[in-house]
Amino acid sequence: MDEPQGPDSAKGAQAASMTSPSLPGKVARVLLPLAALGVMVWFILARGASLSPVQAPPIEELTFERVVFRTNPSEIIATVRNTGPLPLTVGQVEISEAIWDYSITPSPTIPRLGRAVVSVAYPWVEGEPHGVTLITSTGFKFSHEVVVALETPEINTTYMLFFTGIGIYVGVIPVFLGLLWFPFLRSLGRTWLDALLAFTMGLLVFLGVDALHEALEIGERVAGVFQPVALVVLGTAGSFLLLVAIDRHFRKSGPASASSEGLVLSYLIATGIGLHNLGEGLAIGAAYTLGEMAMGSFLVLGFTIHNTTEGLAIVAPIARGGAKLKHLALMGLIAGVPTIAGAWIGGFTYSDLWSLLFLAVGAGAVFQVVYALGRILLGKLHETGGLSFPSLAGLAGGFAIMYLTALLVAS
């Protein structure tokens, strides 16, 4: 039986109806601040420099993204981007302190964040340094120095096979060599397997920090308008959270045995290492493209030794439970093949911006694996009341091995 509605309840309902706006009212409340903000933005963009009481010359910024050398015909091609606040116009091109005729597409006037390709018919000399300077209509000069001029690789069968071979030699083969330790690892006792997990954690921490350091170094060459530090944070956090979500999905899909959890962790390690190796391939491909042939060969040697330990890290979580050969093969490909893709990208279309993003994503993936391994080691710490000496030695050993092998690729 319904209770009678008193005058107080009727007044409350009436007040509620008066304070709760209709749907059009709610939409208006949402759109009103946005409309006001839009008017303010339009005013600032329309007025521009005239907002200031003192009229100063515009500040211009031009960033060189890529400089290409061609031999047939002999020319230098520079891809530039306007990273300043206002449009700018390229007025002259200077090479080796001399003015040269040039063509520019799509237009000499480059809008904010717009790109242009500047082509100069110039008899450049292989192996010698060359400087390219663009002079804007307002007199600003922007220069790019190439230490050793070499013909830029084009996408063809010869160079594709060359960079593929480097990727296999640096990334794929060393990882599989590390996987060959799997039978030996299976014969170890539990104490030494725990030490191996700690070794893996130390190794991955080094890889993650190293990738972050490289990303921030490259960020110094990226135009400030792209917020390089923010991109590093975004790429690192994004890949970390994505892999955390994937890991939780597998854990919630059903009860899992220790062997299946180890297999998932090994795949995550292979994924993190693969993303990191993508950055290594970028560095090698770019070194050859930029004419640093000696540095490229040195990187090949160093990364080959450096990456052998990565195969050991992949098989550490499954050493106790074992894994089928197909899983080992697939994990080796996941970790090693991205080196080939990185060498292609670095050799044919290197970009500081994309290199920064790849390295940041790789760092985030590696840190996610460190997080997963850390939970395992903390669980053992809770069970035993402290890490054993072999585990502590393994953690320190992971740092030490990666540091010593990293010396081979330090520039």
Start-to-end Cα distance in the chain: 85
Same domain, 273 and 363: yes
402 lies in a domain? yes
165 lies in a domain? yes
Same domain, 236 and 191: yes
52 lies in a domain? no
Q: How far apart are CA 141 and CA 135, in angstroms?
A: 5
The last residue of one of the domains, among 94, 112, 146, is: 146
Same domain, 173 and 220: yes
The last residue of one of the domains, among 120, 146, 172, is: 146
Predicted confidence (pLDDT) at residue 9 exceeds the cutoff of 60: no
CA–CA distance from 183 to each of 106, 179, 180, 261, 307 (Å)?
60, 9, 7, 19, 19
Residue 223's pLDDT band, with cuts at 50, 70 and 90, is confident
Same domain, 292 and 342: yes
Nearest to 64 by CA among 153, 145, 155: 145
CA–CA distance from 80 to each of 18, 75, 216 (Å)?
59, 16, 22
Residue 55's pLDDT band, with cuts at 50, 70 and 90, is low
Name residue 126's amino acid: E
6 lies in a domain? no
Domains held by the chain: number: 2
Winning range, highest mean pLDDT, from 31-40, 113-122, 347-356, 392-401: 113-122
- pLDDT at position 52, please? 56
Mean pLDDT along residues 255-264: 67
Same domain, 214 and 73: no
Same domain, 88 and 215: no
15 lies in a domain? no
Same domain, 105 and 166: no
- pLDDT at position 100, please? 92
55 lies in a domain? no
Mean pLDDT along residues 357-377: 83
* Least confident segment among 5-14, 21-30, 98-107, 398-407: 5-14
Q: Which residues contact 375 (CB under 8 A, 6 or more apart)?
A: none
The last residue of one of the domains, among 97, 123, 146, is: 146
- pLDDT at position 4, please? 54
Give ∠ CA 350-356-360 in degrees, rounded to 5: 140
Same domain, 136 and 193: no
Same domain, 350 and 248: yes
Whether 217 and 363 have beta carbons less than 8 Å apart is answered as no
Predicted confidence (pLDDT) at residue 280 exceeds the cutoff of 90: no
Whether 229 and 216 have beta carbons less than 8 Å apart is answered as yes
Q: What percent of the chain has pLDDT above 90?
A: 18
Same domain, 250 and 225: yes
54 lies in a domain? no
Q: Give me 131's structure tokens.
A: 């400087």
Residue 6's pLDDT band, with cuts at 50, 70 and 90, is low
Same domain, 345 and 256: yes
40 lies in a domain? no
Provide the CATH number for the domain around residue 85: 2.60.40.10
Same domain, 140 and 163: no
- pLDDT at position 65, please? 87
| Domain assignment of residue 119, given as a range | 62-146
Residue 224's pLDDT band, with cuts at 50, 70 and 90, is confident
CA–CA distance from 89 to each of 59, 114, 137, 144 (Å)?
12, 11, 6, 18
Say whether the peptide bond before residue 106 is cis (omega within 30 degrees of 0).
yes
